[in-house]
Structure 1
């Protein structure tokens, strides 16, 4: 086998030097999110995009989405975030990817600008999207989550809950009703929630995937990426979104301490922080009337 001459070898060496260095070793790709449109077509004015929290789905926001659409006479698009509901199950779950998924959805809907409402994990997704693509966002509503603090329950409760959910073995049950009964008994028996505490939001994750009863959330991937979910991405440091921004916290929740407003304004200079009295981490579900009035007044401005 012959050897390269000096000139050929030198040319190949120079070509290697001039090749662009890839920015990422792993190429990320956005997924096609499942969604439900309430009211008008998304292209009629500026739509409202609703992003649920961890272990939630667009179904959790069904009534509120309808009410906001009717109250504002606007399109409301409720989304299943990747690895949840009817959206694809994939092997990665970072906020950069979640935001890219929503950008892809906006393109699919032919929407150039939208208002965002995001709860908990969905709130951080909305924040990352607004900071990364500010020209695409008109108003931003973040529900009971902070870019500054991380509440202890986020680190303690959800990983334990995911482990209990994985242990329920609902795939062996004949139908969804039987699977929900098994999961209900297992969750209460674990002590992860108080006896008779409402857990319907957890049981709503039981459905049919690939023609069998299963959890509709990707528990393995969510557990693996929990550190990513439980923290605000460090690469957002130094970025700002200068549009109208509202943080809505539950007064009985510790997800947005009042002192966080200084750090919040570092990302969102026009941010206001309000609390719904007498509620915890889910103000939209625990006091829907108060939440509706706060959010629709803000989005009407």
Structure 2
């Protein structure tokens, strides 16, 4: 699958690929990508399948998404890129590392472990499905509907970034989603699954977690080290699951320190 991507930084600099999480897109990383590029990297932000401007598919497994990433790396002729992934994107880059060993230099996994997570996005999926795009006039109307399912304004704002206006066949405009909601809803259990064909990854790996996030627990760390024996864990104070958005300065500092130490 040919994935959509954006990039910033010097094209001759070492490459870094960044993968967003569930319900996200490359757009989520645009602001912080400039600070990351300033570390001396060509930063390539990817829309994963069924998200953003990348193609849609009936399949949404981690082996599929890892294969998409491998195809992009080959198409762009990238040598030993740094791979960064948040949440679902973190599981994708971990799956990639296990499936395509030796094709990357370093791994950065943001607030996710390779373990099983029970479904916890059911309310969000119901809320998104409740928004009738045919009669929707404004983004504020969508926000009012979604408020019944998701009380946190910043989360609703993040989700509604996936709404966009398109020109219809009769020349009018209408809202549509940059998400393949039917497939995501159907595959939501698989998105929480542990990874497949798990094997140790020897490359240097950084795990970044938010202090207030429940996604990586202290009890998870011994299991993570069995799979990623050269891993380091950094906890960002005051951050929840959206570490890079809530604490961008601290996140970039942690990334810089890891990249310098493992140069």
Is the partner of 1:116 in helix, strand or coil?
A: strand
Is the partner of 2:105 in helix, strand or coil?
A: strand
The equivalent of 1:119 in structure 2 is 86
Q: How many Å separate the matches in 2 of 1:231 and 1:64?
A: 29
Displacement of 1:85 in angstroms is 0.4
Q: Which deviates the most, 206-215 or 268-277?
A: 206-215
- CA offsets, 1:177-228, max 9 Å, x none? x1x21210001123x324x455221111111457542110111100111111
Q: 1:263 aligned to 2:217?
A: no
The equivalent of 2:185 in structure 1 is 223
The equivalent of 2:46 in structure 1 is 79
Q: 1:40 aligned to 2:7?
A: no
- CA offsets, 1:208-249, max 9 Å, x none? 45754211011110011111101122x323x11100001000
Identify which of 118, 124, 132 aligns with 1:161. Answer: 124
- CA offsets, 1:127-185, max 9 Å, x none? 000111121111100000001352x5xx22x12201210110124335xxx1x212100
What runs of 5+ residues in structure 1 fail to find an aligned partner?
1-30
Contact 1:276-1:290 at 8 Å conserved across structures = yes
Identify which of 86, 89, 92 aligns with 2:56. Answer: 89
Instruction: Give the 3 Å change call, closer, same or farther, for CA 80–160 of structure 1 in structure 2.
Output: same
Is the partner of 1:76 in helix, strand or coil?
A: strand
Contact 1:247-1:271 at 8 Å conserved across structures = yes
Identify which of 20, 23, 35 aligns with 1:67. Answer: 35
Is the partner of 1:50 in helix, strand or coil?
A: strand
TM-score by length of 1: 0.81
- CA offsets, 1:61-98, max 9 Å, x none? 1011111002x121000000000000011111000000
Q: 1:187 aligned to 2:146?
A: yes
Q: How many Å separate the matches in 2 of 1:293 and 1:183?
A: 37
Instruction: Give the 3 Å change call, closer, same or farther, for CA 85–197 of structure 1 in structure 2.
Output: closer
The equivalent of 1:14 in structure 2 is none
The equivalent of 1:172 in structure 2 is 135
Instruction: Give the 3 Å change call, closer, same or farther, for CA 285–188 of structure 1 in structure 2.
Output: same
Contact 1:251-1:278 at 8 Å conserved across structures = yes
Q: Aligned residues, how many?
A: 256
TM-score by length of 2: 0.92
The equivalent of 2:171 in structure 1 is none
Is the partner of 1:78 in helix, strand or coil?
A: strand
Q: How many Å separate the matches in 1 of 2:18 and 2:126?
A: 27
Is the partner of 1:272 in helix, strand or coil?
A: strand
Please identify which structure carries the higher helix content.
1
Q: How many Å separate the matches in 2 of 1:263 and 1:171?
A: 47
Q: 1:232 aligned to 2:199?
A: no
Q: 1:213 aligned to 2:170?
A: no
Displacement of 1:108 in angstroms is 1.1
Instruction: Indicate the structure (1 or 2) with the bigger Cα radius of gyration.
Output: 1
What runs of 5+ residues in structure 2 fail to find an aligned partner?
169-173
Q: How many Å separate the matches in 2 of 1:87 and 1:103?
A: 15
The equivalent of 1:18 in structure 2 is none
The equivalent of 1:11 in structure 2 is none
